[in-house]
Structure 1
């Protein structure tokens, strides 16, 4: 890299035939430029320039070297500009891994809007709860709900949103079930527990109302890793589900679900965009920023 940099300096001196003009064009001190050219001559073991108080002339070796260096420096410049173009232009295929509930329940409208805004980007979505290996599999990023991964340490997790969580049930369930006036009453109810694989028969959940917090041990016949299934079971009157306003908007409007214990909520769940590097092409950076902005807008409603 240092040799290529020296070549670029030499080409500018040879082109202008002046250290002063070359230094001005390169925006560097004349003495620094002169020292770098001397180091280049020392590295290749040949004198490239005849220096005098009036002018700078190429030696025979300098003439040959100048012709070769011009093309090399130009090729390097073009290569750099082409990479900058790839980084800055929103174009290419965006490969994203996310859970199916997340994609359908939250991101489908956002993806539609993003696709319209950036027509040169194409998409490949892998809708799976498995933890894809971003270092060995061809994904640009993974979007996950919950805490950021702790391994491998090279992964970069950017928090892009917080999903609020409330309790919802069908009118039929609430009519047939015992009264529900406080989180402690959940011990008498059926609550769908959405969590990864677990052998625990009881799960502790903390409910919040302003500065007040209540810990409740919830036992359930239904434990799963799908928010969509818990919502479907709640609509059918099987259980109470932990959901958010975005996932329940249509069901609440149609009367199929009601929010219960409306003064209480669970802690919101973070959403992370995970990549294996901080150096991202334009399409990936734009996608992450776009989702973050839309999730913020939804949370502000």
Structure 2
């Protein structure tokens, strides 16, 4: 193995936290993998891993080294991919993970259009709101919405993923419209239960203010799926904070109205993410480029909406 292979082995051990699994992926014995890492540490004059009989983890020096090495390998693979993509058509199985609602509403039609353009690509889609480990579970890429966790994954921003507080005209006629986030305590509210903070919404004074205004809505319904909350909102059951990719058609058609127009919900974005140490194949590159063009930079579900301050 040369030094570049040593770096690939190092990143594999760091990401799997296992010499055994890293050795299998690199086609080595466990003892050979351990020896190569020990030689790398000796050459660098620094310990990269904490080792115990049950676990392995990066040292502080190892973490910094991993960040730099991951970027170097990603840049190298991108350069190789640019050359390879000029001579290879996208083909093979593309294993993709995506959130349920976005997949059903928008990604499904996009995949059909993608395969019309690239008929030699077979797409294997996993629609789920669970967090997928791309490396351990063997995915080529994932579409993710929201703030990304720190990781070795490469992320490409596709478009903004805006959220807005909405209610039906019938509900607002019956209960009135909240003027501030504090007023949500007096309203029936429909809450997404997979949110990072339970029964808590955060608003920002629009436009561009850094001041956060926390709100504790009076929750009358919880669900781990945005489509159910959208159905309840259209039926007049209360106020919901939902992505515009779910409620865009309802807002444009008047089935729902945006409320709290002087406030914005914490911003978010849609990203395509893929492993840094995996060669960016023509099929992955083609799909990422395709959805970036189809959904970005401004998503189609937002362009037809009535404008609202800070929206």
Give the structure-2-normalised TM-score. 0.61
Q: Which runs of 5+ in 1 are unaligned?
A: 3-79
Question: In structure 2, how many angstroms separate the alpha carbons of the residues matched to 1:197 and 1:162?
Answer: 18
* Larger Rg over CA atoms: 1
Question: In structure 2, how many angstroms separate the alpha carbons of the residues matched to 1:86 and 1:205?
Answer: 46
Q: CA deviation at 1:85?
A: 7.0
- Given that 1:95 and 1:141 are in contact with CA atoms closer than 8 Å, whether structure 2 keeps it comes out as yes
Question: In structure 2, how many angstroms separate the alpha carbons of the residues matched to 1:163 and 1:284?
Answer: 22
Question: In structure 2, how many angstroms separate the alpha carbons of the residues matched to 1:297 and 1:198?
Answer: 26
Residue in 1 that maps onto 2:116: 116
CA root-mean-square deviation: 2.9
Question: In structure 1, how many angstroms separate the alpha carbons of the residues matched to 2:281 and 2:117?
Answer: 17
- Given that 2:147 and 2:269 are in contact with CA atoms closer than 8 Å, whether structure 1 keeps it comes out as yes
Distance 1:287 1:208, change over 3 A: farther
Q: Which string of whole-angstrom CA distances, capped at 9 and with x for unpartnered residues, describes residues 252-272 of structure 1?
A: 344321222334321321222
Question: In structure 1, how many angstroms separate the alpha carbons of the residues matched to 2:116 and 2:272?
Answer: 21
Residue in 2 that maps onto 1:266: 265
Q: CA deviation at 1:132?
A: 2.2
Match of 1:216, SS? strand
Residue in 2 that maps onto 1:225: 224
Residue in 1 that maps onto 2:276: 277
The reply on whether 1:242 has 2:241 as its aligned counterpart is yes
Residue in 2 that maps onto 1:159: 157
Distance 1:128 1:86, change over 3 A: farther
Q: CA deviation at 1:86?
A: 10
- Given that 1:149 and 1:157 are in contact with CA atoms closer than 8 Å, whether structure 2 keeps it comes out as no
Q: Which string of whole-angstrom CA distances, capped at 9 and with x for unpartnered residues, describes residues 40-67 of structure 1?
A: xxxxxxxxxxxxxxxxxxxxxxxxxxxx
Larger displacement relative to structure 2 (130-139 or 94-103): 130-139
Q: CA deviation at 1:87?
A: 7.8
Residue in 1 that maps onto 2:103: 103
Q: CA deviation at 1:136?
A: 2.6
Question: In structure 2, how many angstroms separate the alpha carbons of the residues matched to 1:265 and 1:246?
Answer: 16
- Given that 2:164 and 2:264 are in contact with CA atoms closer than 8 Å, whether structure 1 keeps it comes out as yes
Corresponding residue pairs, total: 219
Larger displacement relative to structure 2 (95-104 or 179-188): 179-188
Q: CA deviation at 1:211?
A: 3.7
Question: In structure 2, how many angstroms separate the alpha carbons of the residues matched to 1:246 and 1:164?
Answer: 8
